[in-house]
Structure 1
């Protein structure tokens, strides 16, 4: 199924505009028109671009998983998922979204790695009993893992079409088998916390250290803003530390153009399949649907 249509009858978005100056108040600010096109996965074209986006999604833990095998699994089911491109079908993807039936692929080595990884990373996280239950080996739930990533600075308006396409596809019978019978969806994403710089603290050398409030908690920020809408429909959600998080100096290395360091974390959102349509509509309302 080709998602890009060239004629005027196509009601699916094919264009967005980005302000390259970042100065909305300037009437003379330059605008560049970028054609965003939605395509099915193509194993002959998309392997390397998809693998690059998967590395970005798993951040510092990317080498703990066989991402080549994961990319192959995604590309082997082109009836589920979408890539976004700017220079035609032959170009590399700038964004993607797909769902993987964990039961269907449970014997794949990378799926065993991924399930074990998620179980280990969330083992000490409180308040996510339902998440642990659906990830357990004896679970009766049929879990679909939603993976999505995009290049930094991609306009968030490309996201609602990705979810709308997926919603259509999981409800369309496929000769290779679809995810229509899934009972739950697990969305893997990323968040981050801002961390005070140890370098600045060393330079200032205050006479007395301030005591941190016992009740204060670090604010969570979202790499994917749609997560805020999605988790309002969730059974459970949590952020988790990466296995290769690094020391505090790693946060300082990620603070270009700002005073605070950045501490990335993985993020999971568990959703009942019956709530997925409402969640997709919420994403569309929250981010806006491009015309």
Structure 2
């Protein structure tokens, strides 16, 4: 079944994308374009989505994905029954093309066990244990934010063992050809689910939300570079280069940034693998990166409303 809140909010209205494909001249269509309407359905993550979710998480962390126990993270996502949304195009049993969810970092760092993670009924006798992958993510954001003293201090305060506050780690990823119009309803669903979970006494009463948003900046394409290394290079005086303009991969993150209490751009730790290098963004004049954003919970409803307003324009 499609998600309950999608039916309540959107009254069974599907999100559609028109995909244009050119037809060969010899097909008899005189070069006209076929329009393919694709209906997107919203679903809760489920166990069968594990491998597809893991792939999306690998895309989310890019070359640094090797630093994290992604199998454990994917398991946390698909076992969390109360909060999280996927988008599929071929029914409930197909692979998701998009994912948006939030995980309680403090809960998984210091009070983690399966029943709490999934929001299932109490009664499990499993012994609480610290989540390996959430520990890795915590240490990662501590390291990456070192150059931003205020943000680093705030993160250590929020994610310390003695913290009384809760941080929701937002995981937002989708295939590159997914339309941006699918994002606002997903955010509305997540906000509704968090509020419902709080009403049920589940550990989703977050004080802050942490995002690692995909970004990029323009660089000289490799194909435009001089391939003749033996050619003499003209002498140039060293000049201080201006910082490149950073753009978001996901347009909705531009709205989120406006309400962030702290932001920080950082580079990946791990260089791309040989396979990734063959199809590197650099070949197209794009250098990927990430922008860490810390947003107070009071700002999220306004952000979601702005997303909805912009999607209707």
TM-score of Structure 1 vs Structure 2, range by shorter chain: 0.7 to 0.9
Deviations 1:88-128 (A, max 9, x none): 00000000100101111112111111111111122234663
1:31 aligns to 2:35 (yes or no)? yes
TM-score, with structure 2 as normaliser: 0.78
SS at match of 1:167: helix
Aligned to 1:69: 72
SS of alignment partner, residue 281 of structure 2: coil
Residue of structure 1 aligned with 2:296, choices 250, 258, 272 = 272
CA contact (8 A) 2:220 2:282 kept: no
Instruction: Note if 1:254 corresponds to 2:284.
Output: no
Cα 1:206/1:230, change in 2 over 3 Å = farther
State the partner residue of 1:42.
Answer: 46
CA RMSD, Structure 1 to Structure 2 (Å) = 3.1
* Candidates 51, 55, 60, aligned match of 1:52: 55
Q: Deviations along 1:216-275, whole A, 9 cap, x unmatched?
A: 11111211111111110110112211110359x95983245x4x2x22112221111011
C-alpha contact (below 8 Å) 2:167/2:210 kept by paired residues: yes
Q: Taking structure 1 as reference, are residues 226 and 209 closer, same or farther at Cα in structure 2, changes over 3 Å only? A: farther
Output one character per residue of 1:71-102: Cα deviation in whole Å (capped at 9) or x when no partner: 11111212101000000000000001001011
CA deviation after TM superposition for structure 1 residue 276, in Å: 0.8
Unaligned runs of 5+ in 1: none
Greater shift in the superposed pair: 78-87 or 132-141? 132-141
1:103 counterpart SS class = helix
Q: 1:245 to 1:214 in 2, by over 3 A?
A: same
Equivalences for 1:119-158 in 2 at 5 Å? 119-125=142-148, 128-129=151-152, 130-158=154-182
Q: Say if 1:115 and 1:135, in contact at 8 Å, map to a contact too.
A: yes
- Aligned twin of 1:219: 245
Check the 8 A contact 2:168/2:210 in 1, yes or no. yes
1:177 counterpart (189, 196, 202): 202
TM-score (norm 1): 0.84
Between stretches 218-227 and 134-143, larger displacement belongs to 134-143
SS in 1 for 2:268: coil
2:217 pairs, out of 186, 193, 199, with 193
The aligned residue for residue 108 of structure 2 is 105
Q: Is the 8 A contact 2:19 2:37 kept in 1?
A: no
Sort the Cα spacing of 1:141 and 1:110 in 2 relative to 1 into closer, same or farther, 3 A.
same
In 1, are the aligned partners of 2:216 and 2:287 still within 8 Å (CA)? yes
Q: Which stretch shows the higher mean deviation, 160-169 or 5-14?
A: 5-14
Report which of the two has the higher share of helix. Answer: 2
In 1, Cα distance between equivalents of 2:165 and 2:241 = 37
- The corresponding residue for 1:238 is 264
- The answer (yes or no) to whether the contact 2:15–2:182 under 8 Å persists in 1 is no
Distance 1:159 1:209 in 2: 49
Count of paired positions = 279
Greater gyration radius: 2
Runs of 4+ in 1 over 4 A off after TM superposition: 4-10, 204-207, 209-213, 249-252
The answer to whether the 8 Å contact 1:230/1:283 transfers is: no
Match of 2:307 in 1: 283
Q: Structure 2: how far apart are the matches of 1:80 and 1:284?
A: 20
Which of 90, 94, 100 is equivalent to 2:93?
A: 90
Structure 1 residues 170, 264: closer, same or farther in 2, change over 3 A?
same
Does the C-alpha gap of structure 1 residues 88 and 195 become closer, same or farther in structure 2, counting only changes over 3 Å? same
